Structure 1
Amino acid sequence: MHTFQLAQKKQETKHRMRSFIITFLLLVIMSQVKAQITSRFSNMGSGGSSSRTTKDSSSKNQAPDTLTITYRRLGEPTDYKMDSSIADFNGPFLRVPANYIYLGNNGSPARPVAFTPRMTAGFDAGFHSFDPYGFNHDNARIYYTNRPYSELNYMIGSQQEQQLGVLHTQNRTDRFNFGFEYQKIYAPGYFRSQTTNHNIYRLTGRYNSRDKRYNATLSYFYNKYANGENGGIRNDDDLDNPRYSQRKTIDVNLGNDASTTSSLFNSTIPVKSSIDQAGFLFMQSYDWGKGDTIHVNDTTDVYKFDPVFRVQYTFKLNKDQVAYLDPTPDTFFYTTHYGWAYSGDTIRAQHNFRTISNDLSLVQFPIRGNQAHFITAGARIENTTGTFLDSDIKFSNLALHGEYRNKTKNQKWDFQALGELYMAGENQGDYSVSGMLSRYLNPTLGNVKLAFSNVNREPSYVYKYFSSNYDSWYNSNLAKENISKLQFIADNPKLKYNLTVNYYIIGNYTYMSSYYKSAQADAIFNMLEIMFSKKFTWRHWNWYADFTFQQVHGTAPVNIPTLWTRHRIAYENRLFNNLNLMVGVEAKYMTAYDADDYSPIIGQFVYQTTQKVQYYAPDLAAFLHFRIKSFNAFIRTENLNTFFATNNFAGPHYPYNNFQFRLGLRWWFVN
């Protein structure tokens, strides 16, 4: 017990240090922004213009005050642009898709409405309830920008909810770029023991040598989630009782009598799930090929290098630290859901995983000048260790992988074939294969895509073993999951629609059958999933319609709504040359279904068939979004349906919040 408390104090000390560092970084960035604004106003006051090309003391022309910024994903040859749209609050600002179900409070455990099985081979710890909020290597952005770029986001809402975001990236030279991002999510919530307090960090870097033969890429992220667990409210009827108009007075299942003290950078949460995820990736490559010096004008020459063959080495380190703590356990809740006899002891669980991998790949570029056309073959060694309250594990894996990609220079055809096989180790026999063919037809018909993927994988480790100081269990009867996916996508910018059709064939589907036990589906089942989005326009009025239809064929332990839909009707116009205005209403609705329950100790959604969740009225919101040059504002009133109907539920005993006001601000600066 003493050792555990010391560990907690060390974690709190580390958290305070990180908070101090973030505050310091914010002050530095704000000082740079202030200096930039002051400089621009002084230039304008002297008759200058912030967008005019100027000369320094050496009479060399400086670049005009315009921004060119793109980024790439790891392993993806496509250039992406920054999203400055104000149409979707959930997109570039909140960064959580609108079609996610979360347990009532911003930052709480979440899952997608659309059925989304995990389709990756190899070891997986299995803790993904907070993935929508965090960073990882897959969504890392490797930037290129001709000018230093900074972005600040801030949101404040009802019940002291706050969200903070910082982004800064710049090219120190044409050969080196770094990027830093920070995200803070803080929401005390409307109900007891519901506070969320997340700190999310990302650092990226890119370097290439002067002769363009050596390249290095860095990706680092650290996600620190702190989530208050209340086990849901005890009595759903309390929501309609006038005595409980203040939702904090409603009894909950966990932490009911404990006090919570919280602030933006320091929270004391009585019953808490803590997840720390860290990932470090360093990729190096050396190219052989042909270089040419291109003469641009009398004073400028540009060196262009086209690789033909590449040797690439990637080092990766991932850590997952998962903990649960309840110092004052509730007898009824743990007896009912976990079958434990209450002994008065603190309930805690702790799972720590670390995986180190070394990957060596060989890459061939068949056509000079097209780096989006390549063939890759490689091997990877993974070493994983796990530390729990009562035992430890250690194992290794050897995986072979290959890829063929051909994205043509005219951007019309895109073909990809991927394969990965675990030859030896704990995950021997795991594999994944996938193929994709995309074709841009014309401006009228847009782009169409066909894809296929199949994965054979060991179930995530949380389904095989879990331990706490009250009980431990091991499920040794789990076979490998086998999931196939057929996909068709039609994207049409001219007609403003997107259609995605997914068809799944699933065997040995693994799920949580109770709060503390796992199981697998008895038979193979199929799943049809259709997602359609369309924008209708009439003059300055726009209607954004989103639909998701799902249907299971066969007996399956899967809880999904048959239909989910979202509609945004808005007046949009450009006023006074600089003001982009969007004002309207938003409604979300889904059909009734047996929504998954949630097990706080193991942090997993649980299959159940005894409690149906239905929307008493659509989730309603009214909003005013606008952008003036590089300043965005999102003014929103949400959950308007609670004025005339009972709160809608995310899952059994987990209601969404009451009426909520949110003000979101977003600035970006070009230095």
Structure 2
Amino acid sequence: MRSFILICCLLFGVQQLHAQISNRLNSFGSGGGGSSKMTRDTAKHTHDVDTITITYRHLGEPTDFRLDSSIADFNGSFLRLPANYVFLGNNGSPARSITFAPRMQSGFDAGFHSFDAYGFSHENARIYNSNRPYTEMLYMVGSQKEQQLGVMHTQNRTDRFNFGFEYQKIYAPGYFRAQTAAHDIYRLTSRFISKNQRYNATLSYFYNKDQNGENGGIKREEDLTNSRYKQRQTLDVNLGNSATTTSSLFSTTIPVKTAYGRSGFLLMQSYDWGKGDTIHVNDTTDYYKFDPLFRVQYTFKYSNDDYRFTDGQPDTTFYTKHYGWAFNGDTVAARHNWRTLSNDFSLIQFPIRGNLAHFINVGARYDNISGTFLDSKISFNNLALHGEYRNKTRNKLWDFSAKGEFYVAGQNIGDYNVSGMLSRYLNETLGNIHLSFSNVNREASYVYKYFSSTYDSWYNSTLGKENITQLQFAADNRKLKYNFAVNYFIIGNYTYFKDYYQSAQAPAVFNLLQVIVSKHFRAGHYNWYADFAFQQVHGDGRINIPTLWTRHRLAYENRLFNNLNLMIGIEAKYNTSYYADDYSPVTGQFVYQTTQKVQYYFPDLAAYVHFRIKSFSAFIRGENLNTFFSKNNFAAPLYPYNNFSFRLGIRWWFIN
């Protein structure tokens, strides 16, 4: 309750601060990158008094996006965790996509991705452009002291300089013993353009601090139906039974935990040659417009990724059973630390004046990578050549790209990634269609080749390069309100963990078919949002996926009193039974297994009331309603989802 009052005071303070700022700031010239994915904006942030134009781009792409202020999807607009992700029962716990999504990037990869869904990266960095200062506040309180907060601010200090700052906090003690999650993630972005518009500089910095309590799952599934354990904290778990966790929103001590510290700094600078014109607007106003024809670009990147596991009071039975160690009860610890220094030099040509989405890019990148473990160190280099041709026509009807990356020297020599995409907007009725192809040949992530702990270190030298081909047909239609995608994968040397500590590769090439459909049906004020994913493996794939995953949101939506957008409904998620991946706490990896199926005893149910009044949104939800009349559903063997929980979330933005 005190935390809620603190946030309300903070919101009021920000509002008063903005009331004191009177200068309206002009937007800077367009440039930089965007995203190839379409984002729908359901509110243009237009209010009775304040009007704002705010867009953002992603690095390396030329498409502008608007902020999504929709209240329809709690996962997407508030939690920012995709609905098709499964996580180990508690908000902030290790998560993975239930729809198959292999890593399609060549080059070095450390392999620790269990918390990627919650964090910031250069790939999802937003380079903002705003004609007025904009601040967004987010706060959620839930059962079992769960809290989540966030703040975002961006503004153009001049028409040539913008900066943006974001912070998010996840704190979730959970219903079961020793599963507390506490994440702090930060992001800073900035963009500068010189007065003559020839020099551009873009900065991206992020820091993700992830802490997760590891309980190894509950000991016995049948305990969930035993009346003695209605209070879930009394259930025995595999790790941390006797340990004491002390935690609060801003101070957490977790005795058995995984801790990730991931940071990245990127500075991209470019200088352009081209043609400029002074455009006469009126008798007192002239506007200078510069169109680049040739660009020299230099990008510096530095990253520090630290993975640690610590158990100061280990359970002998668990480690002996799953890791096969000659266990003596001493502290279990593991650490991988990776530092990467990267320098990229590129030459870019714009064949058609005024169209920055039509370009040819060729360049080279040199990476220096060093790793530190408990018992050793390693250092190596990589040299990669890359190129891209992109042509998004001015009328936005056609979009074509072809790009490739080839590692010609270093640790990852022979890695490559080639892809092509063709997109066509047909008309309002038929919407967009997309065809794409991608093929990646990559060395297995390093965690599959080597891992070190206080009890054992191993190296797998038998792994060949993974080769993954993806063919995709996709269509999206705003008028008919559907999205449709068919993916076909051809996969060789697929790498996986065959048990809690050892890696292996699939014995043969296999194929996977995936069909994903989303459709919005509407009848008056009644709406049905339906999502389906069908997946089928052909061959010995050594991957665990359900044949069918689906989510449905049935809602009554209406606009009342001119300003109130109201949404009341029920949400249900379900997937067919399958051998869900297990999870290894020491390595932080999901593990392939074929001994225990995970099934939904009843669909996950949630009831909700969402509403927005101008710049204020609220989300009131009762989740896991299915636990009132059925056993908890499971995310993985012995990892049940939480009991019924209540959540209240608010999202508020301010404009000056």
| TM-score of the superposed pair, with normalisation by structure 2 | 0.94
2:349 & 2:323 partners in 1: Cα distance? 55
Paired letter, 1:238:
D
Alignment match, 2:640: 655
Other structure's SS at 1:91 match: helix
Which whole-Å CA distance do the structure 2 matches of 1:288 and 1:543 have between them?
52
What is the letter of the counterpart of residue 124 of structure 2? N
Q: Is 2:520–2:528's contact at 8 Å kept on the other side of the alignment? A: yes
Query: Does structure 1 residue 73 correspond to structure 2 residue 83?
Result: no
2:371 paired residue number? 386
Counterpart code for 1:192: R
Aligned length: 628
Q: What's the CA shift for 1:666? A: 0.2
The answer to whether residue 560 in structure 2 is matched with residue 575 in structure 1 is yes
Quote how far apart the aligned CAs of 1:298 are.
Answer: 1.6
Which residue of 107, 115, 140 maps to 1:155?
A: 140
- Asked if the contact 2:311/2:331 (under 8 Å) is kept, the reply is yes
Contact conserved, 2:476 with 2:482, CA < 8 A, in 1?
Answer: yes
Matched with 1:305 is: 290
Q: Distance in 1 between matches of 2:547 and 2:557?
A: 32
Shift of 1:31: 2.6
Where in structure 1 are there 5+ consecutive unaligned residues?
A: 1-22, 41-49, 52-63
Equivalent position SS for 2:266:
strand
What letter matches 2:16 in structure 1? K
Deviation readout 1:532-557 (Å, 9 max, x if unpaired): 00000000000000000000011110
Q: 1:101 aligns with which of 68, 72, 86?
A: 86
1:29 CA drift (Å): 7.2
Q: 1:25: how far off?
A: 12
Query: Could you tell me which residue of structure 2 aligns to residue 624 of structure 1?
Result: 609
Q: How do 1:382-461 and structure 2 match up within 5 A? A: 382-461=367-446
Equivalent residue for 1:248, pick from 192, 215, 233: 233
Q: Which residue, out of 528, 539, 561, partners 2:513?
A: 528
Supply the AA of the counterpart residue of 1:500. Answer: A
Supply the distance in 2 between the matched residues of 1:95 and 1:358 (Cα, whole angstroms).
Answer: 31
The one-character-per-residue Cα deviations of 1:331-352 (angstroms, maximum 9, x if unpaired) are: 1000000001221211100110
**Alignment equivalent of 1:113, drawn from 78, 98, 114:** 98
Give, in whole Å, the separation in 1 of the partners of 2:256 and 2:375. Answer: 22
The AA in structure 2 aligned to 1:392 is: K
Instruction: Supply the distance in 1 between the matched residues of 2:206 and 2:143 (Cα, whole angstroms).
Output: 30
Aligned to 1:56: none
Change (3 A) 1:27 1:300: farther
Moved beyond 4 Å, runs of 4+: 23-30, 37-40
CA distance in 2, matches of 1:315, 1:249: 51
Q: In the TM superposition, what are the counterparts of 1:159-178 in structure 2 within 5 Å?
A: 159-178=144-163
Task: Tell me, in whole angstroms, the C-alpha distance in 2 between the residues paired with 1:545 and 1:307.
Answer: 45
Aligned to 1:142: 127
Secondary structure of 1:90's partner? helix
Shift of 1:567: 0.3
**Displacement of 1:34 after TM fit?**
2.4
Write the distance in 1 (CA, Å) between the matches of 2:541 and 2:281.
64
Tell me whether 335-344 or 623-632 shows the greater mean CA deviation.
335-344
- CA drift of 1:297 comes to 1.4
Deviations 1:282-308 (A, max 9, x none): 000000000001111122111000000
2:651 alignment partner in structure 1: 666
- Does 2:613 align with 1:613? no
Q: Paired residue for 1:517?
A: 502
Q: Give, in whole Å, the separation in 1 of the partners of 2:351 and 2:531.
A: 42
Q: Give, as a single letter, the amino acid of the residue that structure 2 aligns with 1:601.
A: V
Q: Please say if 1:32 is aligned against 2:36.
A: no
Change (3 A) 1:145 1:122: same
Question: Per-residue displacement from partner, 1:318-372 (whole Å, max 9, x unpaired)?
Answer: 1110000000110100000000122121110011000000000000000000000
Q: Per the alignment, do residues 39 and 210 of structure 1 end up closer, same or farther by CA in structure 2, a change over 3 Å counting?
A: closer
Change (3 A) 1:26 1:581: closer
Per-residue Cα deviation, 1:127-166 (whole angstroms, up to 9, x for no partner):
0000000000000000000000000000000000000000
Amino acid at match of 1:411: K
1:65 Cα offset (Å): 3.2
1:49-88 paired onto structure 2 within 5 Å: 65-88=50-73
Give the Cα–Cα distance (whole angstroms) in 2 for the partners of residues 344 and 480 of structure 1. Answer: 38
Question: What's the offset of the Cα at 1:638?
Answer: 0.3
Identity between Structure 1 and Structure 2 (%): 72
Per-residue displacement from partner, 1:354-395 (whole Å, max 9, x unpaired)? 000000000000000000000000000000000000000000
Partner of 1:365: 350
* 1:232 aligned partner: 217
Deviation at 1:658, TM superposition (A): 0.1
Q: Distance in 2 between matches of 1:424 and 1:157?
A: 52
- The one-letter amino acid paired with 1:115 is F
Tell me how far 1:652 sits from its aligned partner: 0.3
Give unpaired runs (5+ residues) of structure 2. Answer: 25-48
**Structure 2 CA distance for aligned equivalents of residues 28 and 89 of structure 1:** 23
Aligned-residue RMSD, C-alpha: 1.6
